[in-house]
Amino acid sequence: MENNLIYTKDIHDKDLLTNTIQTNQVMMEWEKPYMEELVKRLQPKGNVLEVGFGLGYSANAIQQYDINTHTIIECDSKVIEKAYVWSKKQKHKVFIIEGTWQNKLKSLGYFDSFFFDDYPHPDHPDPLSTRVFDFYYDIMEKHANANSTFTWYCGRPICWPCNNYISWDMESYEINIPDNCDYVEKYGKKIKMMYTPLVGFKKKNIKMHRKILEMFSDD
């Protein structure tokens, strides 16, 4: 189990999750309204699978909906400790799965809502940041119930692989990102727009040739 993340405050006394090994920021408080907007678009229902607990913003928002269960996959020991404490205070049943989603997803069943915001893990190198596609194909083929939905943290407009059994939509979300944030950039400049993607699965066990489409934007 990883033990690289710590909860602290930034120079403005805002929430900060940081990596102690690489001394880089992982998650900051400015993300809270964006996470809440993603969950609003998702409209969680039934059995929910969330990947990455982080600062708990999305988890708190998910718990505001009339769901059945809330399963969270998390691989960092400090974050897991915080998630367990948090889970005891929640209205809806929470299951904490310890490990990476790449290792644990295959042992899980079907879900009605998916929220994905992981952090790159050294055991699963992802130099091109395409792991969300792997997660997408895995849940589409083996874990998505009919009429289930999927959203994720997304900093760029993208193309998305679909077929007749999959719906797709993306909206922009304007947000103020503070100057002291060092992980949201584009062409060396801070961006002012995030995106709220939404995928819908119309049936279970959808099969599709796996391909990864390049992210695009000329803005």
Strand-pairing partners, residue 50, are 72, 115
Q: What angle do CA 31, 57, 180 make, to 5 degrees?
A: 30
Residue 121 pLDDT:
79
Quote the CATH superfamily of domain 26-201: Vaccinia Virus protein VP39 (3.40.50.150)
Residue 130 pLDDT:
81
Instruction: Report the run of H or E that residue 104 belongs to, with start and end.
Output: helix 101-104
Residue 214 pLDDT:
46
Residue 217 pLDDT:
38
Q: Which DSSP symbol is given to 47?
A: E
pTM of the model: 0.89
Residue 189 pLDDT:
58
Residue 175 pLDDT:
87
Domain ranges of the chain: 26-201
pLDDT < 50 regions, the chain: 187, 214-219
